[in-house]
Structure 1
Amino acid sequence: MTTAAVALFTRDLRVRDNPVLSAAHREADTVAPLFVLDEAILSGGACPPNRAHFLAAALGELDDELRELGGRLIVRAGDVAEEVARVAAAADAAVVHIAADFSAYSREREQRVRDRLARDGRELRVHSASLTVVEPGDLLPAGRDHFAVFTPYLRQWTDARRRTPLRAPRHLELPRIPAGSLPEPGDIGAGEPSPELSVGGETTGRKILRDWISHNMADYAHGGDDLAADSTSRLSPYLHFGCLSPAEVVRRAGDSTEGAAAFVRQLAWRDFHHQVLAARPDAAWADYRDRGIRWREDEQAVEAWRAGRTGLPIVDAGMRQLRAQGWMHNRARLITASFLAKSLRVDWRIGARHFRYWLVDADIANNQLNWQWVAGTGNDTRPNRVLNPLRQAERYDPHGDYVRRWVPELAEIEGRAIHRPWRLQVDYPAPILEFPGM
């Protein structure tokens, strides 16, 4: 008798090191690789254009990878629980496999799918270690349900036992059910994407990873904060959508160089935020630590910040890069977020929403909890830290090349004078806020 299983893809859009796909293949004769365009997300506008375009490309590359194995991606749209139940029934699959996720919505979705399948006598099986290197909850301080401070978490994370990444199945046999059509970006989210947006999936992500490790990673410890050099990996969108396995990325990066260690540390930060969110799902929008901050309402200043017209070139450059590419250098994220939350004293949630709309890599754990770290309501052990944008510019864009790239009206200014254009006769907004050193 032929057995069947459903492998439900969510944020694990890859065939290599995919515990969900591997388990379905191992335990059944035929596998239905399924992705559901979730009406609860699409109808609520939670998939902005940049992420819609990236997701469409990632699903296309996933389908290509599955076809290489003899299968293809089955696509449905609608209520996730109902669509999964229909595909499971059509395939006569007793078990549906899914990756564990940690946001409040992901947990609610998982329970709805489980309950719906149970009505038909079918089982939902949840697999860990798909989205992070170390599963949230595996590392715990004495007497607490999560680490609240990164450094002690990093010590345990570094010493934690790592699983061996899984190979892709050698061959997949599909059940005889219609596959459906791959979505276009407009089927996922409305609106125009960033003009310089880069998209891809597993195939593209693996190429970027190979090139990064071979050519750039060794210098990351010393050049990673150099805004003009742009020498970060740019792998965050591929990790967000699960086109790359974080466990495999860490394994391939190794720890033999200072640059590799610095890069892997960033993946530890990613895991840290996921374990915070898993323990405190409300931290997605509620202050992790209530500091009693009285936020200011200043829509004019917020709009200047969004548009990259604050009069502070380093801030404006970061915000314009965000709009143009759907991505922003991590140092620029810190500078722009600190300017809004710490200097303007505007509620961090306003900034987090703007980032979530434009950033192709914005997930709940990293976007929201990084914003809270900057705002002083999160896990920063120095909650009163304020980044002076002038000092940040002089340190991380000393020659002004990053500003020249993104603020072209200042491109003719030579040297460090570009960071203080108000001292010159140029057509550029006056600063909306003053800082020491101006």
Structure 2
Amino acid sequence: MHVSVVLFTADLRLHDHPPLRAALASADAVVPLFVRDRGVEAAGFAAPNRRAFLDDCLADLDAGLRKRGGRLVVRSGDLVEEVCRVATETGADSVHMAADGSAFATRRERRLRTALERSGRWLVVHDAVTVVVPPGLVTPAASDHYAVFTPYHRQWARVPLRQVYGAPRTVPVPEEARGEPLPAHRGTDGTSPGLPPGGETRARAALTAYGRHGLDSYDTTHDDLSADATSRLSAHLHFGTLSPVEVVHRARRHGGPGAEAFVRQLAWRDFHRQVLAARPAAAHADYRTRHDRWRTEDTASGDIDAWREGRTGYPVVDAAMRQLRHEGWMHNRARLLTASFLTKSLYVDWRIGAAHFLHWLVDGDLANNQLNWQWMAGTGNDTRPNRVLNPVTQARKYDPRGAYVRRWVPELAELEAPLVHVPWRLPEADRAGLGYPAPVVDLADGLGRFRRARGTRP
């Protein structure tokens, strides 16, 4: 009997899964395998919120496989060792998996290929499983990647998409395949109380619902903090419970300005992937250095703690930081605001903010997170590296009635707009009675410090 292993990584679904489809077409039985890789833990990628969401995804994937006569095999340990062990135990001669352009995944894939070849087996890696357009598929004439989004998007939009595959009807799994029990329940230690559930079943339902009730207005409402009108599909894309290729196909069939703007955001996701694939050091080093002498934990611990805890005295910043802790998610506009505030108004190293986001975000994707932080810090791909987002004017524009602030900063719930965005305008006694802190920095002072550090003029 011909057996293949299908190694699931960030593609925890049955619909539109090229590695699973290819393995089923070429083998009599497959081993759907997920390895809890201790290397992921050692690299610091397995934060509590993502572990809990992952547990949901694995349980849902296993349930889907069982409906098709199969089951998910889960192992723990070194990924390369466990894949090779499963292949030996089941007599599998090939392993199918999705490509991943990160430096960590590339090293792991190289190790796996070498180990499998030593035992006479081969590794088949499939593109366009976790992305729409794989890194390196479109490149400018004089470089290995696009450094500016607009020309990248122009080429990205012209790439013909592969077809979308349905879920298999049956998945035969050999009896010899043995794994660990799935977690009996989602972990709670250190997780956000409002963390959403994961899994392909919920992902597909959410995608359908957004197509019916949110996609048409995405272009006009996606920045509206109080409307909360974004798709909230980012965690499902991160864990691969949704196929990004399928999402683009469905959005394009839907059509309209909202769908077009939505698809553009998926292009940003691929843009960051191709940058990081070409420049892996950008995960921790400036993509374009501005020779900053950032404030750090040693020199700005009080300001950093206030930012992390949502106690900066700037309501929209504090609302966003509290949302992050409670939900493991943050509105896209709020991510820009909080990043600008930390790096530009407080002049704190972007890596400190990026690490905090990666700890809490259930959609904590290394490429998107690090390069979006660099974008706002002015060390990345932004063509206007010295732009500063004023939290007061941004709040008035994107939360004009103050509903977002009132939801997440209950101390200010009784204040009317626009005072809800500037509570320090109240007499000190009244403000103290709210239990809300004074601003940690005067915006003009913060802007001046940043301009002096960067050597820019007003």
TM-score range, shorter chain: over 0.9
TM-score for the superposition, normalised by structure 2: 0.93
Deviation at 1:76, TM superposition (A): 0.5
Deviation at 1:44, TM superposition (A): 5.0
Distance in 2 (alpha carbons) for counterparts of 1:435 and 1:250: 40
1:335–1:185 distance in 2 versus 1, CA, 3 Å: farther
Write the mapping of 1:23-62 to structure 2, written as runs, cut at 5 A.
23-62=22-61
Give CA-to-partner distance per residue, 1:225-274, whole Å, 9 cap, x none: 11011000000000000000000000011162111011111000001001
Unaligned segments of structure 1, at least 5 residues: none
Distance in 2 (alpha carbons) for counterparts of 1:45 and 1:249: 29
Q: Which residue of 2 aligns with 1:314?
A: 316
Q: Which residue of 2 aligns with 1:340?
A: 342
Q: Structure 1 residues 316-325 or 96-105, which shifts more?
A: 96-105
Deviation at 1:98, TM superposition (A): 1.1
Contact 1:94 1:122 in 2 (8 A): yes
Q: 2:228 aligns with which of 221, 230, 242?
A: 230
Partner AA of 1:22 in structure 2: R
User: What RMSD over aligned residues (CA atoms) do the two structures have, in Å?
Assistant: 1.6
Q: Which residue of 2 aligns with 1:211?
A: 209
Q: 1:364 aligns with which of 345, 363, 366?
A: 366
Give CA-to-partner distance per residue, 1:114-169, whole Å, 9 cap, x none: 12212211111111111111111111111210000000011111111111111222
Partner AA of 1:433 in structure 2: V
Q: Which residue of 2 aligns with 1:109?
A: 108
Contact 1:56 1:185 in 2 (8 A): no
Distance in 2 (alpha carbons) for counterparts of 1:423 and 1:437: 18
Q: Which residue of 2 aligns with 1:393?
A: 395
1:182–1:368 distance in 2 versus 1, CA, 3 Å: farther
Deviation at 1:21, TM superposition (A): 0.7
Q: Which residue of 1 aligns with 2:134?
A: 135
Distance in 1 (alpha carbons) for counterparts of 2:414 and 2:114: 63
Q: Which residue of 1 aligns with 2:69?
A: 70
Distance in 2 (alpha carbons) for counterparts of 1:288 and 1:437: 27
Partner AA of 2:357 in structure 1: F
TM-score for the superposition, normalised by structure 1: 0.97
Q: Which residue of 2 aligns with 1:242?
A: 240
2:439 corresponds to 1:431: yes
Distance in 2 (alpha carbons) for counterparts of 1:191 and 1:259: 39
Distance in 1 (alpha carbons) for counterparts of 2:144 and 2:393: 38
Distance in 2 (alpha carbons) for counterparts of 1:181 and 1:138: 38
Give CA-to-partner distance per residue, 1:90-121, whole Å, 9 cap, x none: 11111001111011110111111112212211
SS in 2 for 1:55: helix
Give CA-to-partner distance per residue, 1:309-351, whole Å, 9 cap, x none: 0000000000000000000000000000000011111110000
Contact 2:96 2:126 in 1 (8 A): yes
Partner AA of 1:247 in structure 2: V
What percent identity do the matched residue pairs reach? 58
Give CA-to-partner distance per residue, 1:372-413, whole Å, 9 cap, x none: 111001000100110000010000000100000000010000
Deviation at 1:62, TM superposition (A): 0.7
Distance in 2 (alpha carbons) for counterparts of 1:73 and 1:94: 19
Deviation at 1:203, TM superposition (A): 0.6
SS in 2 for 1:415: coil
Q: Structure 1 residues 100-109 or 36-45, which shifts more?
A: 36-45
Partner AA of 1:166 in structure 2: Y
Deviation at 1:43, TM superposition (A): 4.5
Deviation at 1:31, TM superposition (A): 0.4
Distance in 2 (alpha carbons) for counterparts of 1:30 and 1:107: 27
Contact 2:89 2:177 in 1 (8 A): no
Distance in 2 (alpha carbons) for counterparts of 1:257 and 1:398: 27
Q: Which residue of 2 aligns with 1:252?
A: 250
SS in 2 for 1:162: coil
2:202 corresponds to 1:200: no
1:207–1:23 distance in 2 versus 1, CA, 3 Å: same
Partner AA of 2:239 in structure 1: F
Deviation at 1:417, TM superposition (A): 0.6
Distance in 1 (alpha carbons) for counterparts of 2:387 and 2:190: 36
Unaligned segments of structure 2, at least 5 residues: 447-458
Contact 1:102 1:281 in 2 (8 A): no
Q: Structure 1 residues 111-120 or 262-271, which shifts more?
A: 111-120
Deviation at 1:294, TM superposition (A): 1.5
SS in 1 for 2:157: helix
Q: Structure 1 residues 329-338 or 135-144, which shifts more?
A: 135-144
Aligned residues: 436
Write the mapping of 1:396-435 to structure 2, written as runs, cut at 5 A.
396-424=398-426, 425-426=430-431, 427-435=435-443
Q: Which residue of 2 aligns with 1:380?
A: 382
